[in-house]
């Protein structure tokens, strides 16, 4: 017979087995554990390069979605050096009263924080800015001229009417040549506006501008608006651009660098001196002689603008569209009473 100690041990072992089995029966089996597969996250497509409409240069797609900003920029000696002219896409120089000139400057691909000094509008400005759409900033003007500008499809930002802090007077220039507009803030308030359409035709990166293929090379342009204003441009082969001077002195930006352009488009224009007493009006709707300077050469042709909303078309004497060099452009609206000299 087994001893009492062995019977107790056997009984305890059997009890443990029964208890373990009972506990195992009471606990439900857990779900099968699956190893998760790594999910594949679709990466956003990189921005595709596009052509900047007012420069003909390659730019990131998203950077071109904002509207253009035009501003009426002072060119009185007291307004120099101006803010932001070195970053413009296109600048128009026009004759105003007293034989002086002012600018209609356009920014799109490169927008400064501030530009100026801004001044009042003139009767030709609506025909200049309408093709660009977007925004026009200025400091006021005669009521008839302001009304003309207000009747365009362009958003008007006017110093005289502003109570939102878009404009201010700086302490660098003396009044009235001291009104500055906060350009980035102004454009940021109108993100719903579309980008501007192209205004000129440009040679592709692998091609050369029409001035090089059809025109002779030369070193300088000498232009005369009046006895008070005679800008000039000298070809800088090392820098690949035209350097600007006014009345024989280098025309400098706020950082002390000479203003430059990839293209200088010179248009001979008629001036209406009768409709508005003492205010010359450049006639932008019409046609006339043109000289387009790019790449150290100049091609002669004609310009034509058929309507306020139409862009300026340039055709060479051979009947071909004039292709500009990619880059910024200055448009010189030289009155027919002035002169254009191409210097070899």
- The string of pLDDT tens digits covering residues 291-301 is 999 999 999 99
Q: Which residue has the higher pLDDT, 4 or 305?
A: 305
Give residue-wise pLDDT tens across range 176-190.
999 999 999 999 999
Which pLDDT belongs to residue 63? 78
Q: What is the mean pLDDT of the chain?
A: 89
Question: Which residue do the tokens 């005669």 mark?
Answer: 142
Q: Which residue has the higher pLDDT, 238 or 26?
A: 238
Q: Of 304, 298, 342, 300, give the one whose Cα is nearest residue 317.
A: 300
Q: Of 158, 189, 201, 149, give the one whose Cα is nearest residue 67.
A: 189
Q: Which long-range contacts (CB under 8 A, 24 or more apart) does 27-35 make?
A: none
**Predicted confidence (pLDDT) at residue 2 exceeds the cutoff of 90:** no
Which pLDDT belongs to residue 38? 55
C-alpha dihedral over 310, 315, 319, 322, to 10 degrees?
A: -120
- % residues pLDDT > 90 (the chain): 81
Which pLDDT belongs to residue 286? 97
Domain-wise residue ranges, the chain: 50-343
Per-residue confidence at 201, pLDDT binned at 50, 70, 90? very high
Which pLDDT belongs to residue 46? 65
Here the tokens at position 235 are 């070809």
Contacts of 192 by beta carbon, 8 Å cutoff, 6+ apart: none
Tell me the mean pLDDT in the region 137-148: 97
DSSP 8-state symbol, 113: S
**Predicted confidence (pLDDT) at residue 55 exceeds the cutoff of 60:** yes
Per-residue confidence at 13, pLDDT binned at 50, 70, 90? very low
Distance CA 99, CA 97 (A): 5
Tell me the mean pLDDT in the region 90-95: 98
Distance CA 275, CA 285 (A): 15
**Predicted confidence (pLDDT) at residue 6 exceeds the cutoff of 50:** no
Which pLDDT belongs to residue 54? 97
**Predicted confidence (pLDDT) at residue 205 exceeds the cutoff of 90:** no
Contacts of 215 by beta carbon, 8 Å cutoff, 6+ apart: 292, 297, 298, 299, 300
Per-residue confidence at 27, pLDDT binned at 50, 70, 90? very low
Q: Where are the alpha helices (DSSP H) in 154-232?
A: 183-188, 210-214
Which pLDDT belongs to residue 207? 81
Distance CA 90, CA 73 (A): 13
Which pLDDT belongs to residue 41? 60
Query: Measured at the alpha carbon of residue 38, what is the angle toward residues 37 and 42, in degrees to the nearest 5?
Result: 135
Distance CA 313, CA 305 (A): 6
Range of lowest pLDDT (14-23, 317-326, 335-344)? 14-23
Q: Of 258, 268, 262, 279, give the one whose Cα is nearest residue 224.
A: 268
By the 10 Å C-beta count (0-12 exposed, 13-18 middle, 19+ buried), 46 is classed as exposed
C-alpha distances out from residue 121 to 92, 138, 247, 284, Å: 13, 7, 24, 15
**Predicted confidence (pLDDT) at residue 90 exceeds the cutoff of 90:** yes
Distance CA 141, CA 276 (A): 13
Q: What are phi and psi of 291, to 5 degrees?
A: -130, 125
Q: Which residue has the higher pLDDT, 277 or 143?
A: 143
Distance CA 161, CA 104 (A): 20
Distance CA 123, CA 3 (A): 126
Sign of the Cα pseudo-torsion (14, 19, 24, 28, in order): positive
Question: What SS3 class is residue 336?
Answer: coil
Tell me the mean pLDDT in the region 35-64: 76
- How far separated are the first and last CA of the chain, in Å rounded? 134
**Predicted confidence (pLDDT) at residue 26 exceeds the cutoff of 70:** no
**Predicted confidence (pLDDT) at residue 88 exceeds the cutoff of 90:** yes
Here the tokens at position 195 are 């980008």
Which pLDDT belongs to residue 60? 81
**Predicted confidence (pLDDT) at residue 148 exceeds the cutoff of 50:** yes
DSSP 8-state symbol, 217: B
CATH level 3 topology of 50-343 = YerB-like fold (3.50.90)
């Amino acid at each position: 017979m087994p001893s009492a100690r062995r019977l107790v041990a056997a009984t305890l072992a059997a009890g443990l087995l029964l208890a373990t089995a009972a506990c195992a029966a009471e606990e439900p089996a857990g779900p099968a554990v699956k190893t998760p597969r790594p999910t594949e996250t679709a990466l956003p497509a990189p921005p595709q390069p596009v052509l900047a409409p007012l420069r003909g240069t390659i730019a990131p797609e998203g950077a071109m979605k904002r509207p253009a900003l035009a501003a009426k920029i002072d060119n009185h000696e007291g307004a120099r050096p101006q803010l932001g002219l070195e970053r413009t896409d296109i600048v128009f120089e026009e004759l105003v009263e007293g034989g002086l000139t002012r600018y209609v400057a356009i920014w799109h691909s490169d927008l400064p924080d501030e530009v100026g000094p801004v001044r009042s509008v003139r009767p030709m400005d609506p025909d200049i800015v309408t093709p660009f759409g977007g925004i026009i900033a200025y400091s006021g003007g005669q009521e008839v001229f302001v009304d003309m500008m207000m009747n365009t499809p362009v958003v008007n930002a006017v110093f005289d009417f502003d109570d939102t802090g878009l404009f201010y007077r700086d302490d660098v220039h003396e009044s009235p040549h001291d009104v500055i507009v906060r350009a980035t803030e102004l454009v940021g308030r109108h993100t719903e506006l579309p980008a501007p359409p192209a205004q000129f035709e440009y040679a592709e990166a692998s091609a050369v501008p029409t001035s090089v293929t059809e025109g002779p090379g030369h070193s300088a342009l000498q232009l005369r608006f009046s006895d008070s204003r005679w800008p000039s441009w000298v070809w800088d082969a090392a820098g690949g651009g035209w350097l600007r001077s006014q009345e024989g002195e280098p025309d400098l930006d706020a950082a002390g660098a000479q203003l430059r352009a990839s293209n200088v488009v010179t248009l001979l224009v008629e001036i209406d001196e009768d409709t508005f007493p003492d205010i010359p009006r450049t006639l932008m709707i019409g046609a006339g002689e043109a000289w387009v300077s790019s790449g150290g050469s100049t091609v002669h042709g004609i310009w034509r603008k058929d309507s306020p909303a139409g862009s300026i078309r340039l055709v060479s004497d051979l009947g071909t569209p004039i292709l500009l060099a990619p880059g910024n452009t200055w448009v010189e609206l030289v009155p027919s009473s002035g002169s254009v000299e191409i210097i070899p």
